[in-house]
Amino acid sequence: MKYSEKVMDHFTNPRNVGEIENADGVGVVGNAKCGDIMKMYLKIDENEVITDCKFKTFGCGAAIATSSMATELVKGHTVEEALKLTNSAVVEALDGLPAVKVHCSVLAEEAIKSAVADYYTKIGKPVDFELEDHDHDHDHVVED
């Protein structure tokens, strides 16, 4: 299985790793099957611009690389724009992922949505978008 240079770069040198104290939105998503967990922290200003974004991922390399790229893609953008970030846009920004690893990128998209939902709840805004059910199965392929 081949990973792009960008995936390897973001995996070995992930951007925006860590926690944000007093974050405006925190999202946690996980998959019960592979045990991967992703936690996303957002700092949001009064104009709904994401001024900072950090993540922690306990999971596979593709999950780390996609969360790293996702934080870069939402930083400096509005919450509205962040909600439009799809996992395929993240995969594209990384020059692709092997097909069996595409599901890992879904975690990054969902972690951002979950953090925004947390922010909306805090400020009393209705959560008018879908949050995924994370208990779906995902196929695991043994790599050799």
Cβ 85 vs Cβ 11: under 8 Å: no
Any catalytic annotation for residue 53? no
Q: What is the Cα–Cα distance from 73 to 65, expressed in whole angstroms?
A: 12
User: Closest CB to ligand FES among 43 and 67?
Assistant: 67
User: Closest CB to ligand FES among 46 and 99?
Assistant: 99
Subset of residues 25 to 64 that bind ligand FES, contact rule: CB under 6 A: 31, 34, 36, 59-60, 62-63
Nearest approach, Cβ of 124 to ligand FES (angstroms)?
A: 33
Nearest approach, Cβ of 36 to ligand FES (angstroms)?
A: 4
Q: What is the Cα–Cα distance from 120 to 36, expressed in whole angstroms?
A: 25
Catalytic residue among 104, 107, 111, 117: 104
Subset of residues 63 to 122 that bind ligand FES, contact rule: CB under 6 A: 63, 104, 107
Amino acid at 132: E
Cβ 87 vs Cβ 66: under 8 Å: yes
Nearest approach, Cβ of 10 to ligand FES (angstroms)?
A: 14
Alpha helices in the chain (DSSP H): 5-12, 61-74, 79-83, 87-93, 102-123
Per the listing, tokens 């953008």 go with: 77
Nearest approach, Cβ of 134 to ligand FES (angstroms)?
A: 11
Among 121, 28, 113, 11, which residue's Cα sits nearest to residue 66? Answer: 11
Catalytic residue among 26, 34, 49, 127: 34
Task: Give the binding site for ligand FES (CB under 6 A).
Answer: 31, 34, 36, 59-60, 62-63, 104, 107
Active site amino acids:
34, 104
